[in-house]
Amino acid sequence: AQKVTQAQTEISVVEKEDVTLDCVYETRDTTYYLFWYKQPPSGELVFLIRRNSFDEQNEISGRYSWNFQKSTSSFNFTITASQVVDSAVYFCALSGQGAQKLVFGQGTRLTINP
Amino acid sequence: DAGVIQSPRHEVTEMGQEVTLRCKPISGHNSLFWYRQTMMRGLELLIYFNNNVPIDDSGMPEDRFSAKMPNASFSTLKIQPSEPRDSAVYFCASTPGGIGPAGVGYNEQFFGPGTRLTVL
């Protein structure tokens, strides 16, 4: 069975602080993909990043960075110099072998206070 | 380009009534997914289609739920009869489809704005 765990239910920080959202996954598949999605207060789900299991390179996109570590089955997401507009619920998800469906974590509600 | 379109955006109905949610995927996408989001259960996959064919409906809660995809540009999710516990936000998502290495689906899913369903 596949599972994604986001242990942090809620995080609250002050603007300009750095914040890391944790994601731990379980799968027996040797090939899989990991995703992060953002759900702002307006409600839609916005795709942020996809990473395949063969590529452990970290990725940086502006203030966002992702740290994929296969050894610890983690795919953590860091926002540097957070801004109020980053306030949202963030979901980590997994797509395993033989299927296109995504298994989502429970989400982390991030609040950035001015 | 238009994204995934869902209608209605909000639906309020009474217990026992039939509810039909509609989705138009992004043109050219060949996989379509229906999700339900609640505070208690988070995001749950209900059913997904490849090339209009249902592939996995194991997430459909019970016989009161049914989904169809009569063509590549339209899908419906029907609840009959509806119950208060069906109250949730229902999302439709589509993806270009395609399977990556070793049979793993790799395309990101593009989500619609959701339908907020309230059953009184």
pLDDT in tens, A39-50: 999 999 999 998
Q: Hey, are the CB atoms on B33 and A95 less than 8 Å from each other?
A: no
Regarding predicted confidence, which is higher, A74 or B61? A74
- Nearest residue to B33 (alpha-carbon basis) of B50, B11, B58: B50
Which of A97, A103, A107 is opposite residue B103, by nearest beta carbon? A97
Q: Hey, are the CB atoms on A101 and B100 less than 8 Å from each other?
A: no
**pLDDT of res. A53:** 87
| Alpha-carbon gap, residue A29 to B48, rounded angstroms | 21
Q: Residues B30-88: pLDDT tens digits?
A: 899 999 999 988 999 999 998 899 988 999 988 899 999 999 999 999 999 999 999 99
pLDDT band at B97 (very low <50, low <70, confident <90, very high): confident
**pLDDT at residue B7 above 90?**
yes
Q: Are B110 and A40 a contacting pair, CB within 8 Å?
A: no
pLDDT band at B99 (very low <50, low <70, confident <90, very high): low
Q: Do strands A64-69 and A102-104 pair parallel, antiparallel, or not at all (unpaired)?
A: unpaired
Query: Which residues from B are below 8 Å from A91, CB to CB?
Result: 43
Q: Are B32 and B72 a contacting pair, CB within 8 Å?
A: no
| Alpha-carbon gap, residue B29 to B47, rounded angstroms | 16
- Nearest residue to A75 (alpha-carbon basis) of A38, A105, A30, A109: A105
**pLDDT of res. B23:** 98
Which of B100, B105, B114 is opposite residue A44, by nearest beta carbon? B114
For A89, what's the count of Cα atoms within 13 Å in the CB-facing half-sphere? Answer: 17
Query: Which residues from A are below 8 Å from B105, CB to CB?
Result: 33, 95, 99-101
- Nearest residue to B82 (alpha-carbon basis) of B12, B6, B5, B32: B12
Using DSSP, state whether B91 is helix, strand or coil. strand
Query: What is chain B's mean pLDDT, rounded?
Result: 91
- Nearest residue to A59 (alpha-carbon basis) of A78, A32, A38, A82: A78
Regarding predicted confidence, which is higher, A32 or B10? B10
**pLDDT at residue B105 above 80?**
no
